[in-house]
Amino acid sequence: MVSAAREERIQRQIASRSRRRERLLLVLLLGALFFQEFCSARLLNASSDETMHLPAGYTYWKTGDFRLNPEHPPFIKLLAALPLLPMNPYVKWDDSTWNGNPPDQVRFGVRFLYSSDALLGKDAADRMLFWARLPVMLLSVLLGWYVFAWARDLYGPRAGLAALLLYAFCPNILAHSRFVTMDLGLSCFFVITFYYVWRFTRFGGRRNVALAGVALGLALATKFSAIILLPSIVVLLGMSVAEKGGTAAAGPRPDLDDFPTEGNTGRRILLAARAYALMIAISFTLVWAVYFFPKYPLFYLEGMWQVNENHVREYWAYLAGNFRQGGWWYYFLAVFLLKTPPATVILFLLSGALWKIAPRARWRNEGFLLIPGVFFFVFTTLLADDIGVRYILPIYPLVAIFASRLTDFALSRRWRTAAAGVFAAWLVVGTVLMFPDYLAYFTDFVGGAANGHKYLDDSNIEWGADFKRLKEWMDDHGVEKIRLYTPWSTLPNYYGIKFEWWDFLQPNPAPPGLYAISTHSLVRGQLAARMAGMNTNWLFRYKPVDRVGYGFYIFRFE
């Protein structure tokens, strides 16, 4: 017979091997996330928004003046521009694009990015972009770790790895973690905030409250839509207070290191109020610091007002071949279904359908996943322009964590394990095949990315970042000069593209030659043509001879 001591030693060895295997898989998944982002980002030139965000961050550091791009808080812009400070790129501070009131952020941004080759050497813009994008990629890795940690804490280590798999191979996360924009940063701090609020309601602890306050402050300093976190936290703390009944406050003075879960409702209310006040104090102090301690007390509200001023109420939104001013109430629901991998959608829905079958945490714990996601989704639906899936990016980590609650249930039978393997392969293969065009991902149920332009436009498909690949295509095909149409502000001639601007909307037949028309232009051109009473829909009338990623369609006329 095996002695008790030996059996205990064997169990410890098995547990140790299991932990080592889990750590290895954790590192591999985080590495796969970063590897995909790193390799694909190097193929892309600046997106249209990066030409505004990155120069703005640099001017904040250099001048302390926040006039450039005030419609977004400064944290991600400051973080991205930090590696550029030792590079000292060329800036013409006496230029009218900077000295204007307000500055011309588009023209100033283009000149900032593409004027430093003489000073910093060839391809200076690409090097600046690489170093600026790196902090955003690292934030995506940090967020990946928290996705793993929260799912592990709720459902076990295998669920943590499953959630990380769903996150690391989410095309929308991969797409927007490669650009100097606010959406990935907001997603990161959004999840971290609620993770530490949840930990406080479960374990208490000043550390959890302080970290929640820091994450909340960084979220507010990243994007104004983070304001929805404030009422969401109140609801979640109230839910935790109300979970069990109790008597009025009594006993010793409440202590943040202990959030009681039994009785004494009054004490829990007081603790929750103290914790929330501390979070608010920390977060707003941090926001104040990120803005370099302005004396004007309403500086943050002024920025939010600027967002409202820039809101184009007459914007013609696009969905499934139709244009409508003001958009559709169900736009973001449609975007979620069109842009989310089918495996993720199915697992998320199954996780809800098998609420009582699959092993789960208490309802309060899962409320911390569902309530913030629902609040943010509704808030975005009501207030955001119908432009892109990136506006709902923060819900994807929560979707991955909630779907992971099925893990132990799925691995409890062989046939379920086989089905889980099929879903995992479907997700991973579908995402890997999109490299580096994660931005253009569409669900298989509508025919994938090749049909994406039939349903959505703008940053759902391309963001003006394919000029480098257009130049490679021209070199590979021996094309010296091409007729070009794109709305994006990046300078094609920076990448050696010889071109002639061509308005493809004119009614006359196009002269013989090669044409590169951006996908976004082809979609928006349909609206312009309809309003002008013209039939100039090139995707309908002509068959393209090639495609550069999903950013340009190539047409040839003989």
Contact 467, 497 (CB under 8 A): yes
**Do the beta carbons of residue 338 and residue 444 sit within 8 Å?**
no
**Are 273 and 346 part of one and the same domain?**
yes
Of the residues 432, 449, 468, which one is the last residue of a structural domain?
432
Backbone CA torsion sign across 305, 306, 308, 309: positive
Judging by beta carbons within 10 Å of its beta carbon (0-12, 13-18, 19+), is residue 229 exposed, middle or buried? buried
Identify whether 113 is part of a domain: no
How far does Cα 94 stand from its chain's mean position? 35
Give a yes or no: residue 334 inside a domain: yes
Q: Taking a C-beta distance cutoff of 8 angstroms, is the pair 135, 82 a contact? A: yes
292 domain residue, yes or no: yes
Which of 92, 140, 104, 112 lies closest to 46, judged by CA?
A: 112
Check whether residue 296 and residue 421 sit in a common domain: yes
The interaxial angle of helices 50-63 and 124-155, nearest 10 deg, is: 100
Element (H, E) at 485: strand 482-485
Q: What is the total count of domains within the chain? A: 2
Query: Looking at residue 506, what is its pLDDT?
Result: 77
DSSP class per residue in 35-82:
HHHHHHHTT----TTHHHHHHHHHHHHHH----SSTTS-SHHHHHHHG
> Which residue type is seen at 154?
L
Per the DSSP assignment, residues forming a β-bridge with 556 are: 514
Q: Which pLDDT score is estimated for 104? A: 92
500 membership: H or E segment, kind and range: strand 499-501
pLDDT the model gives residue 249: 42
Distances (CA, A) of 241 to 175, 264, 394: 39, 9, 26
**What is the rounded CA–CA span in Å between residue 447 and residue 342?**
12
**What residues contact 204, with CB distance under 8 A and at least 6 apart?**
255, 256, 257, 258, 259, 271
Q: Verify that 191 and 228 share a domain, yes or no.
A: yes
Express each pLDDT in 470-520 by its tens digit: 999 999 999 999 999 988 756 788 999 999 988 888 777 788 999 999 999
**Strand partners of residue 514:** 556
Judge if 410 and 343 occupy the same domain. yes
Residue 392 near residue 340 (C-beta atoms within 8 A): no
Beta-carbon count within 10 A of 375 CB: 17
502 and 371 fall within a common domain = no
For 514, phi then psi, to 5°, come to: -100, 140
Tell me the whole-structure pTM to 2 decimals. 0.93
- In the 8-state DSSP scheme, what is residue 514? E
CB 181 within 8 A of CB 465: no
Domain assignment present for 50: no
Helix or strand run (H / E) with residue 555? strand 552-557
Residue 337: both structure tokens together: 């279904």
Residue 112 inside a domain? The answer is no
Length of the chain counted residue by residue: 558
Residue 238 lies in a domain: yes
pLDDT digits (tens, 9 = 90+) for 384-406: 889 999 999 999 999 999 999 99
Q: Give residues with Cβ within 8 angstroms of 541, minimum separation 6.
A: 535
Query: Where do the H-state alpha helices sit in 436-537?
Result: 467-476, 519-532
Please state, in angstroms and rounded to a whole number, the distance separating the CA atoms of residues 424 and 165.
8
Positions of the chain with pLDDT under 70: 1-3, 5-11, 13-16, 244-255, 260-263, 308-313, 358-363, 489-490, 535-536
CA 176 from chain center: how many Å?
5
- For residue 533 the two structure tokens come to 């009473």
Same domain flag for 428 and 474 = no
Same domain, 398 and 537: no
Report if residue 95 sits inside a domain. Answer: no
Indicate if 414 and 483 belong to the same structural domain: no
Residue 52 domain flag: no
Specify whether 223 is located in the same domain as 269: yes
Phi, psi of 433 (to 5 degrees): -65, -15
As a whole number of angstroms, the distance between CA 151 and CA 171 comes to 20
Of the chain, the end-to-end C-alpha distance in Å amounts to 87
Residue in 10, 295, 189 with CA at minimum distance from that of residue 18: 10
C-beta of residue 223 within 8 angstroms of C-beta of residue 186: yes
Same domain for 321 and 231: yes
- What residue numbers bound the domain in which 494 lies? 459-557
Rounded to whole angstroms, the Cα distance separating 486 from 223 reads: 28
What is the Cα–Cα distance from 159 to 407, expressed in whole angstroms? 5
Shared-domain flag, residues 473 and 359: no
Annotate 275-285 with b (16+ C-beta within 10 A) or e (fewer): bbebbeebbbe
Query: Is residue 396 within 8 Å of 187, Cβ to Cβ?
Result: yes
User: Does residue 475 share a domain with residue 390?
Assistant: no
